């Protein structure tokens, strides 16, 4: 990990807030208000259950609460915009002003994004990187919301090289964001582990993760309980948190700044070790250069 990745920078997000990136890993907790998400579907379907889970995650060290109302697992049933909004908006409204954690809305629908930011969300997390509903870019620009642009291989033909495909897709997403007026310091990128990628592609993406720094934006890693973690460890979805924590630590060493996870506590501890090691490396390298 280059020393420049440890220098402090800020991800500007909505409602006048910001996220400091650099020496300390940032945790984004997953709160699925869905009946069919792959590892925790139905556990937090009530507003009360989702809010309690969000507070627990914040108490464990989550800096961001990512709230989603539609499962993105392969083969999941689509929901209508009104169903999605009925699930997520009451949770956002209940959390607003009740926690220091930032609120993220996990959606690819512009209307849901607009309503969510109005209800108090600071960040829009779009799993189609503005390439399904580009209007999300305009909403982010108009409101000052933070924007997470994710790579996906779904519904299109991928390039054979895993990193070349990342650049082809994400550069297009960045073009859409820029045309909409989204400022650079409001954007982070997510390489989309598990989204139309097989086990070998995901492992190669981890191995070559540092190449993504050429895009020039902070990077978010979302490996939590993904199928490739199960393929490597032999674990079912609910038992993949140790494997996830290993990927988090490795990707931190490769320069990821933000980690989207189900189990905050185990990833917090793994990342604390990675952060401490990086700080020691930085101190040593600065000393040898002095």
- Show which residues are catalytic: 226, 260
- Length reported for the chain: 290
| Rounded to 5°, angle at Cα 229 from 225 and 231 | 125
* Residues 107 and 80: beta-carbon distance below 8 Å: no
Helices (H), 27-156: 47-60, 81-95, 110-119, 135-143
The CB-side HSE value for 94 (13 A sphere, CA atoms) comes to 17
Cα 4 to Cα 232: distance, rounded to the nearest angstrom: 32
**Which of 17, 129, 35 lies closest to 73 in space, CA to CA?**
35
Cα 97 to Cα 94: distance, rounded to the nearest angstrom: 8
């Amino acid at each position: 990990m280059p020393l420049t990745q440890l220098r402090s920078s800020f991800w500007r997000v909505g409602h006048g807030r910001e996220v400091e990136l650099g020496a300390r890993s940032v945790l984004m907790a997953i709160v699925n208000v869905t009946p069919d998400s792959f590892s925790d579907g139905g556990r937090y379907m009530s507003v009360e259950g989702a809010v309690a889970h969000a507070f627990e995650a914040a108490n464990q060290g989550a800096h961001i609460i990512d709230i989603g109302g539609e499962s993105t697992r392969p083969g999941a049933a689509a929901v209508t915009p009104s169903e999605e909004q009925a699930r997520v908006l009451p949770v956002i409204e209940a959390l607003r002003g009740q926690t220091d954690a930032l609120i993220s809305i996990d959606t690819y629908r512009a209307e849901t994004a607009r309503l969510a930011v109005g209800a108090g969300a600071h960040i829009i997390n779009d799993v189609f990187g503005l390439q399904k509903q580009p209007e999300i870019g305009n909403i982010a620009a108009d409101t000052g919301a933070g924007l997470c642009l994710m790579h996906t291989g779904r519904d299109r033909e991928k390039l054979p090289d895993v990193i070349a495909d990342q650049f082809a897709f994400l550069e297009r997403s960045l073009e859409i964001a820029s045309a909409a007026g989204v400022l650079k310091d409001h954007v982070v990128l997510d390489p989309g582990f598990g989204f139309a990628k097989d086990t070998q592609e995901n492992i190669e993406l981890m191995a070559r993760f540092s190449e993504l720094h050429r895009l020039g934006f902070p990077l978010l890693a979302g490996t939590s309980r993904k199928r490739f973690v199960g393929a490597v460890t032999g674990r079912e979805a609910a038992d993949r948190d140790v494997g996830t924590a290993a990927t988090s630590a490795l990707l931190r060493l490769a320069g990821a700044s933000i980690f989207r996870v189900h189990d905050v506590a185990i990833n917090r501890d793994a990342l604390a070790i990675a952060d401490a090691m990086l700080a020691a490396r930085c101190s040593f390298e600065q000393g040898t250069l002095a």
